[in-house]
Structure 1
Amino acid sequence: MTTTNQPHALTSIQYTRTRTASVAPEVMRERRLVMGLKNDPHANVFRLLRSNVLMQLREKNWTSIAVVAPTAECGKTFITANLGIALAMEVNQTVLIVDADLRNPQVGWYFGLDVEKGLLDYLQTDVRVEDLLVNPGFDRLVVLPGKHTTSVSSEMISLPKMTSLVDELKTRYQSRIVLFDLPPLLTSDDALLFMPHFDAALLVIEDGKTTPDEVRQSLTILDQTNLVGTVLNKSKGAVLPQYKQTLG
């Protein structure tokens, strides 16, 4: 895929084969989809994150980011969902969120989607990926959700079918940004195995829970890829995450 520093605005997207399902406002409030709520002051956090991420993507000609965390419940999927909406609101690109957490898929829950089949079904059966994609009611945003779980997720990630799918998703449309929601870094080797599939990573850590040693271990794993930044989630004294640029 080729991108430019000044892409054309993509203001009109018509979904003909992709299922559309709008997220109810009460669901967005309950599940903290702040980017979908009108005039929510906390959305500014994700606008700042979007600006920093886009600056690096366009400078380096990157098109895909993995959102990762050291351990479970740091809030990586919460960050993925809101960042995806924020990126889609910037009309110069479309956005695809892929729930690649085959151990605990949660992207569909955040968008209130009624998911019958997901990424694992595609890998294990003959279901078409086109039948899995959903537009959750936000312009220029599409979700490839997860549904079922597996204890052999690393084997699924290593399948040639997964490699072919990711290549297709990343190159089918120009000006598309792909966000991958991955399993925690320190609980499996899934993210490490998936590393060849994305250009850069965003690390989410939880204030008061993620230890310095867990951060060091995570950074060691991510040393093999590009790090666009870190997000300090559940920060004490703050309702929503703080964004911190990581240098180097």
Structure 2
Amino acid sequence: MEKLQAALEKARKARGAAPATVRQKPRSAPPDSDLAQDDLWGAIPSFEVSDTHLHEQRVVTRNAGPSAAPFDILRTKVLLQMRQNGWKRLAITSPMPNSGKTTTACNLALGLGRQKDLRAILMDLDLRDPSIHSFFETEPAHGIGDLLSGRASFGEQALRIGNNVACSMARKSESDPTQLLLAEETVEVIDQIEATYKPDIMIFDLPSLLVNDDTRAFLQNVDCALIVARANTTRYSQFDTCEREISEQTNVLGTVLNAYMNINTVSEQG
């Protein structure tokens, strides 16, 4: 594990900051964007999930406390760095599966939800193996494929936890995720969601980069990415390839070293 941690630091210093990648900003908002944001968000159906289930899934940030502290540190670092750069869209991925990326995404979203002046959107784009609905023990009325292909609106497909976190969850795996993630219509749908609901941050839970081409297909649509590596499991060569490929398409926000003495540590880039 110490070798991986040292390698991460060495690679970060050697490579330096990734060249800034500027995502094209969303198109102008649709006509209904002048509706009060409170009304728009309030119209999203809400759901409840027990603290017991969340803790079983290692989602610990709905309430402040010692177990939430590492993710709260992550939340603050992510938020401050994204604000400084004017970024809104964050991808969360990993080199290989079972690194804790979805756990990180869910904890980050609920941690942001405790900031009453913020609004966050969490989208499950791990379309071959979606799992956020399992973490939250609920399913939407429409699948995320229906949303991205325009068969359902965000207000119909998303569910809200608390007052200020909207979750776009999948019901099942998609048969051709890459085709969906590459589609121009998907870009237009996400632009419209951002323009209409005006979230402070959009979090996209993406597949592990080295497993298939789904994440590569979507990275051009985000402002930055967070890489989740797992101590004693992620190889340095896997991390290095992952970081290099991400930096070719967007900004690498940082790295979370997961399962290191049960504490998530963040290595900022640049």
TM over 0.5: yes
* Offset of residue 101 of structure 1: 1.0
Q: 2:94 aligns with which of 69, 72, 93?
A: 69
Report 1:159-198 matches (<5 A). Answer: 159-198=183-222
Report 1:159-238 matches (<5 A). Answer: 159-224=183-248, 225-235=250-260, 237-238=261-262
- Structure 1, unmatched stretches of 5+, are 3-11
Q: Which segment is superposed worse, 102-111 or 13-22?
A: 13-22
* Offset of residue 40 of structure 1: 3.5
TM-score, with length taken from structure 1: 0.87
- Which residue of structure 2 aligns with residue 21 of structure 1? 47
- Which residue of structure 2 aligns with residue 146 of structure 1? 170
SS of the counterpart of 2:210? coil
- Structure 2, unmatched stretches of 5+, are 1-24, 27-36
Matched residue pairs, number?
234
CA contact (8 A) 2:71 2:264 kept: no
**C-alpha spacing 1:205/1:185, structure 2 compared with 1 (3 Å):** same
Measure the CA separation in 2 of the matches of 1:123 and 1:95: 18
- Which residue of structure 1 aligns with residue 153 of structure 2? 128
CA contact (8 A) 2:148 2:189 kept: no
* Offset of residue 17 of structure 1: 2.6
CA contact (8 A) 2:42 2:163 kept: no
- Which residue of structure 2 aligns with residue 245 of structure 1? 267
* Offset of residue 108 of structure 1: 1.5
CA contact (8 A) 2:154 2:193 kept: no
The answer to whether 1:33 aligns with 2:63 is: no
CA deviations 1:80-108 (Å, max 9, x no partner) are: 00001112222332000011111111111
Measure the CA separation in 2 of the matches of 1:97 and 1:231: 18
SS of the counterpart of 1:62? coil
Measure the CA separation in 2 of the matches of 1:155 and 1:226: 24
Measure the CA separation in 1 of the matches of 2:220 and 2:169: 21
* Offset of residue 125 of structure 1: 6.9
Q: Whose helix fraction is larger, Structure 1's or Structure 2's?
A: 2
SS of the counterpart of 2:91? strand
- Which residue of structure 2 aligns with residue 6 of structure 1? none
* Offset of residue 151 of structure 1: 4.1
**C-alpha spacing 1:173/1:16, structure 2 compared with 1 (3 Å):** closer
Q: Kindly provide the amino acid, as one letter, of the partner of residue 102 in structure 2.
A: T
CA deviations 1:86-145 (Å, max 9, x no partner) are: 122223320000111111111111112134432123345723332111012x23101010
Measure the CA separation in 1 of the matches of 2:126 and 2:202: 15
Higher relative contact order (CA closer than 8 Å, sequence separation 6+): 2
SS of the counterpart of 2:66? coil
CA deviations 1:28-67 (Å, max 9, x no partner) are: 121111012x453110111111111111111101111000
**C-alpha spacing 1:70/1:182, structure 2 compared with 1 (3 Å):** same
The answer to whether 1:111 aligns with 2:136 is: yes
The list of structure 1 runs, each at least 4 consecutive aligned residues, that deviate by more than 3 angstroms after superposition, is 12-16
Sequence identity of aligned pairs in percent? 24
Q: Which segment is superposed worse, 226-235 or 121-130?
A: 121-130
CA deviations 1:163-209 (Å, max 9, x no partner) are: 11111122223352100000110011111111121100000011111
The answer to whether 1:87 aligns with 2:112 is: yes
- Which residue of structure 2 aligns with residue 8 of structure 1? none
